[in-house]
Structure 1
Amino acid sequence: MAVKRTAAATPGLQTEEAAAKGWEIPNFTIKEIREAIPAHCFKRDTFRSFTYVLHDLTIMFSLGYLATFIDRIPSPVLRWSAWLTYWIVQGICSTGLWVLGHECGHQAFSPSKLINNSVGMVLHSALLVPYHSWRYSHSKHHKATGHMSKDQVFVPSTRSEVGLPPRDQDPEGDGPHSAFEETPIMALWNMTLMMLFGWPLYLLTNVSGQDYPGWASHFNPYCAIFEKNQRWDVVTSTIGILVTMAGLAYCGSVFGSLAVIKYYVIPYLFVNFWLTLITYLQHTDPKLPHYRENLWNFQRGAALTVDRSYGTIIDYLHHHISDTHVAHHFFSTMPHYHAEEATRYIKKALGKHYMYDPTPIAVAFWRSWNECRFVEDEGDVVFYKN
């Protein structure tokens, strides 16, 4: 049964934008949503989880083996077409392995914390992700999704932060603003830069995250992202990255730098593409608001997530991280192999508060890029403007 309740108007809250958009603020509880989902969906099976690791590694190593024959192809066109195919497919499959490491960070892989953190450390370090550092910041994201001052990723810039005058003094009002106008070529260039380098820049400098003082980085154990008792784990995560980089350097010395670039670096850039695209579109959409402290709560924030399908094959290889992301935000310890079933129940329970967007991915990305530029400095419910 769908949750029907929405929050009643509360004196002192600034919800004018919500009223103008016809956005109804939900007032359901986590208990209501959880009770709508069968209990077995929350069961974690260590053996089953390991079968997915084996599944992904088998595909990835098979692709790597097949790629060893590419340079024997006499036709340059066919040879480069084969390499491009390898890079794209390997990037997709490696993103799936990243998702399994991400499950470990949520303790969704196994009931054992030791197994979760051991497997997660290996998988994420191999993909140049500082496991514990990202686990801590990602936990903050889940605890504050859609919160203007506490969320950790793709936090909207405010009107004043992008250099626009106050709304009542702005000749362009709610926009579109000429300050954001880009030629299609420039827009595509900037989008490409974000897709390829946005993820490592987020890890290095917290790009798109909260504006912490000093060097906010997943490699800085003393930055404001982390608590004092988390510092050693941050150091350990950095050591994991250094071990992987040393292994890549060794492979470069044995097989040549070009081989490392072709077999690892370029697929790694495709992983960056998928991680950035998926995360961006899960939480950035003109239809979705953000809440400020007076109105935000966990369940309202969790509902500010969009499920999207990237097609049957990619959804499968990505372990349905995109088309079941609403379920993941409500219950992050739920294994991915139960998320499709749970989503059917969550969809019924949330009713109109469940967000799914069937817009083709390229169109959705272009729309969000152009229409999600800033939010107002004031208001307890704020929507993107351009």
Structure 2
Amino acid sequence: MSVVEATGVSVTSVSKETSVSSPSSNLTTVDTYGREFKVPDYTIKDILSSIPKHCYERSLVRSLGYVARDIVLMVAIGYVGQKYIPMVDFAGHEDASTVARGLLWMGYSYALGLFGFGLWILAHECGHGAFSDYQNINDFVGWVLHSYLIVPYFSWKFSHAKHHKATGHMTKDMVFVPYTKEEYVEARGVSKISEVMEESPIWSFLVLLFQQLGGLQLYLATNATGQPYSGYSRIAKSHYAPKSPVFDKHHFWYIILSDIGIGLTFTMVYQWYKNFGFFNMFVNWFMPWCWVNHWLVFVTFLQHTDPSMPHYKPNEWTFARGAAATIDRNFGFIGQHIFHDIIETHVLHHYVSRIPFYNAREATDAIRKVMGDHYRYEGESMWYSLWKCMRMCQFVDDDKDDAKGVMMFRNVNGLGPVKPRD
């Protein structure tokens, strides 16, 4: 198996490791915690050679089985909820009955949203070719599942592939590209970092709330948190625009097909509303869809944001370094059994996106032996990590003189021992 087949990235992308401007070796800097960060010097070949060959094997039957499992469980939740929640009635206490039913409907939509995100992850596997050996089947299944969740399948597939080719690259990564110190200062209309006032916890909470509720749709509609693409309006950079600079010219009709999928879903939802009523559509599709939006931003933000995580300027970026600029976390039973290990094995996923999730734990154990201290894992509560990252990771800076090009997160909130320099 070739490097391209294993990683799912182009020869051009991998060859950046041996580009004309060779990256420095034995680099160290200081992360946001004040700890020494050693920049990886191993190669993608070192990583790939450590993974057992059977980890690359993909089974269409097994993958379809997980799709069927998630759909069956959603149907089962729907059957039980629709039948029994309306029966909740505390005789003589109508207000209490209404509150109880409301809480149960909220839990019902939450449960559907969990498995809805599970289906999103399986569609994501399709986009990477990890679902099966048959790309046409992968694309059909991915298009159906993502369209149902209002995600333009091919648009996401193409931009996400570019993200994988340039993870952690300050000028070529496609999502969660952080502010530089200069951009952060400019966005706040001041001349230097010391003039930026500390952000209050309330403001951080409001930003976090907006990110979790609207971040995905803002990204899809305007390419927010992606590359700037000067000369294009926000709408022109949309994932729904066939001529968006996010895509290549030959992607045009695939983007149209993605948009058709979204249109068909809206048509279905409208018919759902007309035939079964607003409430039925609201608890069975709209609220679970809102949860899927939340989970996607929650998970992906925390996969690519952490006080220990670097970003690289072009002179120091390599594919192996960029893929290591991710982090595995632990979301317990939900992460492993409903979210298909997308949280627990994401570092491996960035090195080899074609390995199916059910082989990813074994492959992760293998690459950890090569990565050593460069493998990042955080086992604390992800809800705490979300708040911590929002407060500590506001912009990046290469403020250590002997590590120019290796950019670490900094903040103006006085969090962490490292303070940004003007």
Q: Give TM-score scaled by structure 1 length.
A: 0.91
Q: Which residue of 2 aligns with 1:4?
A: none
- 1:375 aligns to what SS in structure 2? strand
- 1:54 aligns to what SS in structure 2? helix
CA separation in 2, counterparts of 1:54 and 1:263? 18
Q: Which residue of 2 aligns with 1:138?
A: 160
Task: Report how far residue 134 of structure 1 moved.
Answer: 0.4
Unpaired stretches in structure 1, ≥5 consecutive residues: 1-9
Counterpart mapping for 1:29-108 below 5 A:
29-69=43-83, 70-74=85-89, 75-108=97-130
Counterpart mapping for 1:371-382 below 5 A:
371-376=392-397, 379-382=404-407
Counterpart mapping for 1:1-386 below 5 A:
17=29, 21-69=35-83, 70-74=85-89, 75-163=97-185, 170=192, 172=194, 178-182=196-200, 184-213=201-230, 214=232, 215-376=236-397, 379-386=404-411
CA separation in 1, counterparts of 2:193 and 2:220? 38
After TM superposition, the structure 1 stretch with the greater mean CA deviation from structure 2, 258-267 or 230-239, is: 258-267
Task: Check whether the contact 1:18–1:382 (CA below 8 A) recurs between aligned residues.
Answer: no
Task: Report how far residue 345 of structure 1 moved.
Answer: 1.1
Task: For 2:80, give the aligned amino acid.
Answer: L
CA separation in 2, counterparts of 1:258 and 1:189? 28
Task: Check whether the contact 2:120–2:149 (CA below 8 A) recurs between aligned residues.
Answer: yes
Deviations 1:53-107 (A, max 9, x none): 0111111111122221323322123211211211221111110100000000001
CA separation in 1, counterparts of 2:309 and 2:405? 13
CA separation in 2, counterparts of 1:376 and 1:305? 18
Task: Report how far residue 170 of structure 1 moved.
Answer: 4.0
CA separation in 1, counterparts of 2:192 and 2:129? 48
CA separation in 2, counterparts of 1:224 and 1:325? 27
Deviations 1:355-383 (A, max 9, x none): 10112112111111011111238830011
Deviations 1:284-324 (A, max 9, x none): 01111101111111111001110001112332100000000
Task: Report how far residue 145 of structure 1 moved.
Answer: 0.4
- 2:197 aligns to what SS in structure 1? helix
Task: For 1:383, give the aligned amino acid.
Answer: M
Task: For 2:174, give the aligned amino acid.
Answer: Q
CA separation in 2, counterparts of 1:328 and 1:12? 25
Deviations 1:168-212 (A, max 9, x none): x8473xxxx753412x33322321111011011111111111112
- 2:316 aligns to what SS in structure 1? coil
Task: For 1:131, give the aligned amino acid.
Answer: Y
- 1:154 aligns to what SS in structure 2? coil
Deviations 1:130-163 (A, max 9, x none): 0000000000000000000011111011122222
Deviations 1:33-53 (A, max 9, x none): 112111100001111111000
CA separation in 1, counterparts of 2:281 and 2:383? 30
Task: Check whether the contact 1:158–1:377 (CA below 8 A) recurs between aligned residues.
Answer: no
CA separation in 2, counterparts of 1:132 and 1:122? 11
Closer/same/farther in 2, CA of residues 377 and 25 from structure 1, 3 Å limit: closer
Q: Number of matched residues?
A: 369
CA separation in 2, counterparts of 1:11 and 1:29? 12
Task: For 2:172, give the aligned amino acid.
Answer: K
- 1:163 aligns to what SS in structure 2? helix
Q: Which residue of 1 aligns with 2:4?
A: none
Task: For 1:95, give the aligned amino acid.
Answer: F
CA separation in 1, counterparts of 2:335 and 2:23? 47
